[in-house]
Amino acid sequence: MQISSMFPRSLFVSLATATLLVMTLACSQGTSAAQSDGPMVVPTGTGGAQGTGGAQGTGGAQGTGGAQGTGGANATGRVGGSGGATGSGGAQSTGGANGSDGASAVGGAQASGVGGSTGNDTANPVNPNATPQTKAVLNYLRNLMGKGVLTGQHDYVGTTGQASSIASTTGTWPAVWGSDFAYGSGVDSKRQSMVKSAIDMWNKGALITFTYHEVRPIDEESCGWSCVQTSITDAEYLEIVTPGSALNLRWIAQIDNIAGYLKQLQDAGVVVIWRPFHEKNLKGFWWCRREVAKLHQLMYDRFTNYHHLNNLIWNWNFNVVNQWAVDPTPWFPGIEYVDMISIDDYANSPQIPGQESYDIAKKLAQGKPLAIGEQGMMVDPGFVKSSRPDIVYFLTWPLSDPLVKNNTSTWIKSVYSNSYAITRDEVPPSLRAP
């Protein structure tokens, strides 16, 4: 959700670590659900009660979340951070915060279709054990650069009404469907419903992307928005990223729960464009700035080396640089932890993201795909084609959110009918082949 971004680190520090701890940029202490009390809220976009989201659905075992209390081998592998990571996480490229070598290329593109290309311009996932479908989707995205932009729509956890609304308006479905693992009382049943919907959307041709508005590890999972848009002390943050500490084990239990749902999707053959710790360069969420790069590294290691989640495309996200959000570069975890980069922009303009943020993303991505992770007004596909060609998809935040403006039915139809825009029926079926 569009609030601004965050992302620091510590043991596995990327180039910027040293500077981070010096920064007194403690994530802003946010307010609870009140999202309209000044600049901190304006970039929020989580749209109030995100953890509720209507129909909860059932969809089988609710509490599947994997081994929650394991704590076990925290962040195995990659013990060395960004400089030539040693773990099985597939250090594709070396270098500190910005890395080098960009997207390694081997083999031929595995998927083709509208907007795509089957040329030799390929990119390997940062996880060397990525599934064939994951490789195919990433290469499809890589080959879309400059050739087309996938349409996308976000739905609140447990619902699909926003995507359905787009289909009713345009006669076609978004090519990318997104949702959120969210928070709050009863969220497990909503998450299970979301998994069921994701499998259905995938089987019908959509690509899937998820984010996670995670409550602080010092709070219970049932806590609401006030435990997401809030802060923690520097000492608490350092404890969270210190393997084996009490808060680190609580955080591990939280993400192990999420890993269980992602594993269900892997078993169903679904690839997930995974966008954790979004808008890290803002000051709204507890994970903002400070140690967020290390948090990303720890999650990568846990999901990749412990849970063996090989169906994830790691999408590093930041908020467009503005009066609330600073240059995100200090919180970049290293190119070897990142498959693509996305930018959230709620300017409610058809010409987004801003040039400065686009240039930052291009520099950090080193040739890997870019996307608009969240937007208010839908971007003009023609503008993407002419001025932001590295952007391969956009995801519109729920149209009911007060931060989302200017999406008239006329404009939505114009965007979805643009010759540069790709809808669900145009996504290559080969991406879902075993």
Task: Write the burial class of residue 106 (CB in 10 Å: 0-12 exposed, 13-18 middle, 19+ buried).
Answer: exposed
Provide the residue type at 231 as one letter.
Answer: S
Q: What distance lies between CA 207 and its chain's CA centroid?
A: 13
Contact 193, 57 (CB under 8 A): yes
Q: Is residue 66 one of the residues assigned to a domain?
A: yes
pLDDT-derived band at 89 (thresholds 50, 70, 90) equals very low
Average confidence score pLDDT of the chain: 80
Give the pLDDT score at 121. Answer: 57
pLDDT digits (tens, 9 = 90+) for 277-298: 999 999 999 999 999 999 999 9
Distance CA 117, CA 146 (A): 11
Contact 152, 209 (CB under 8 A): yes
Angle formed by the axes of helices 246-267 and 187-203, nearest 10°: 30
Of the candidates 411, 3, 287, 137, the residue with the CA atom closest to the CA atom of residue 123: 137
pLDDT digits (tens, 9 = 90+) for 158-190: 999 999 999 999 999 999 999 999 999 999 999
pLDDT-derived band at 220 (thresholds 50, 70, 90) equals very high
Report the alpha-carbon angle 33-37-43, nearest 5.
85
Q: Is the pLDDT of residue 403 over 70?
A: yes
pLDDT-derived band at 71 (thresholds 50, 70, 90) equals very low
Q: Is the pLDDT of residue 254 over 80?
A: yes
Q: Is the pLDDT of residue 241 over 60?
A: yes
* Average pLDDT of the residues in 218-245: 96
* Average pLDDT of the residues in 364-372: 98
Cβ count near 239 (within 10 Å): 18
Q: What is the dihedral of CA 111, 114, 116, 118, to 10 degrees?
A: 50
pLDDT-derived band at 123 (thresholds 50, 70, 90) equals confident
Distance CA 63, CA 174 (A): 29
* Average pLDDT of the residues in 119-148: 90
Q: The CATH number of the domain where 374 resides is what?
A: 3.20.20.80
Task: Examine residue 353 and say whether the peptide bond preceding it is cis (omega within 30 degrees of 0).
Answer: yes
pLDDT-derived band at 433 (thresholds 50, 70, 90) equals confident
Percentage above 70 pLDDT, the chain: 72
Contact 310, 266 (CB under 8 A): yes
Q: Is the pLDDT of residue 386 over 90?
A: yes
Give the pLDDT score at 364. Answer: 98
Q: Is the pLDDT of residue 274 over 50?
A: yes
Q: Is residue 420 one of the residues assigned to a domain?
A: yes
Provide the residue type at 23 as one letter.
Answer: M
Give the pLDDT score at 108. Answer: 32
Q: Is the pLDDT of residue 67 over 60?
A: no
Give the pLDDT score at 287. Answer: 98
Q: Is residue 189 one of the residues assigned to a domain?
A: yes
Give the pLDDT score at 136. Answer: 97
Residue with the bigger pLDDT between 236 and 122: it is 236
Going by the DSSP 8-state scheme, the letter that residue 405 receives in this structure is -
Provide the residue type at 359 as one letter.
Answer: D
Q: Is residue 9 one of the residues assigned to a domain?
A: no
User: In this structure, what token pair is assigned to residue 86?
Assistant: 């040693």
Q: Is residue 202 one of the residues assigned to a domain?
A: yes
Q: How many domains does the chain have?
A: 1
* E strand or H helix that includes residue 197: helix 187-203
pLDDT digits (tens, 9 = 90+) for 5-49: 333 333 333 333 333 333 333 333 333 333 332 323 333 333 333
Give the pLDDT score at 408. Answer: 96
Q: Is residue 1 one of the residues assigned to a domain?
A: no
Q: Is residue 418 one of the residues assigned to a domain?
A: yes
Q: Is the pLDDT of residue 140 over 50?
A: yes
Distance CA 217, CA 202 (A): 31
Q: Is residue 7 one of the residues assigned to a domain?
A: no
Q: Is the pLDDT of residue 91 over 80?
A: no
**pTM (2 decimals)?**
0.76
Q: Which range marks the domain in which residue 37 is found?
A: 17-432
Of the candidates 261, 313, 248, 317, the residue with the CA atom closest to the CA atom of residue 10: 248
Give the pLDDT score at 14. Answer: 38
pLDDT digits (tens, 9 = 90+) for 312-342: 999 999 999 999 999 999 999 999 999 999 9
CB-side neighbour CA atoms (13 Å) of 201: 33
Query: Phi and psi at residue 28, in whole multiples of 5°?
Result: -50, 145
Distance CA 263, CA 258 (A): 9
Give the pLDDT score at 122. Answer: 67
